[in-house]
Amino acid sequence: MTSDSKGIAQLTTAMILSGTLGVFVVESGASPFDVVFFRVVFGALALGAYVVARGWLRDHGFTPRTLGLAVLGGVFIVFNWVFLFESYENTSISVATVVYHTQPFYVVLLGAVLFRERLTAAKAGWIALAFAGLILVSGVTPADFTSGGTYLTGVGQALLAALLYGLSTLVTKRITGVRPHLIALVQVVVGIPLLLPFADLGAISGTSAGEWGWLAGLGFIHTGLMYVLMYAAYAKLPLSKIAVLAFVYPAVAMGMDWAVYGHHIGLVQALGVPLIVLASLKVTLARTPASAPAPRTAAHAPAAASPTATRAASGA
């Protein structure tokens, strides 16, 4: 198997695993804060064991500045997960996941506002198209704004999760000289004391063995194994293939939502999906020339963690 083929297999597997995330969250039966708390606990164990086994703690590369940035990114990312998981409850896994995939546009807009990064007319046009698709996918009507309700709240929670993801991305991509695995480890470790005051440990005491299995899976599978596969793939693939394969995640999430819970988006909502997909690809690929070499993780280039790889540490 060639390096490129292996990278495709690794990233496809990681995105398929990511698409099952919503089912693990719902089946755990725990509140969003409890789910995220135990995700970071089990995730810290998984990533910590991997990092120690590889011997990466001895020469971690963190400075006080980059460690502080990793901590700040962790604050954004754990609350991003909380709002995304709350959105699952108030809308559906399908709707929440597609709305959440407005993340790349927030990264561009926040970069323009906070760091004066250049926003071209073409990017602005694609972002406008994506948000037109978002309106269709959300299925929100004027009546929802007058009557309120949990559905509108859920759409807002998915958008807020995407915004927090964007903030985490902008912070994390300014960290250089550190392996992305270590950045992800710091982010989940930060989540433990951050979320402990919000976790209902009393309610968890009645959790069944099966529910503990779902919670453990979120940490060991969706935070440990999935990240390791993604970072390995990023070292082998060009950005164009990474951008395309990233959409395996929402496709699998929507399929799982239909297969397990019978939820599916309507015809009008479905019309918005290709708009978001197309705009996301255009905006993502415009940020790196098509001829650029494959982004490399710190495993291959210790001097600078890949921006693409560090962005993934902020994903679902």
Among the ranges given (15-19, 134-138, 146-150, 160-164), the one the predictor scored with the smallest mean pLDDT: 146-150
The set of residues, in sequence order, having a beta carbon less than 8 Å from that of 271 and lying 6+ positions away, is: 133, 136
- Mean pLDDT for the chain? 85
Read off φ and ψ for residue 118, nearest 5 degrees: -70, 130
Look at residue 146 in the predicted model and tell me its pLDDT.
Answer: 62
Look at residue 295 in the predicted model and tell me its pLDDT.
Answer: 33
pLDDT band at 173 (very low <50, low <70, confident <90, very high): confident
**Rounded Cα distance, 65 and 198, in Å:** 28
Higher pLDDT, 179 or 313: 179
Higher pLDDT, 315 or 265: 265
- 80-132 tens-digit pLDDT: 999 999 999 999 999 999 999 888 888 888 888 887 888 888 889 988 998 89
- 36-55 tens-digit pLDDT: 999 999 999 999 999 999 99
**Consecutive H or E run containing 14:** helix 3-19
Look at residue 260 in the predicted model and tell me its pLDDT.
Answer: 95
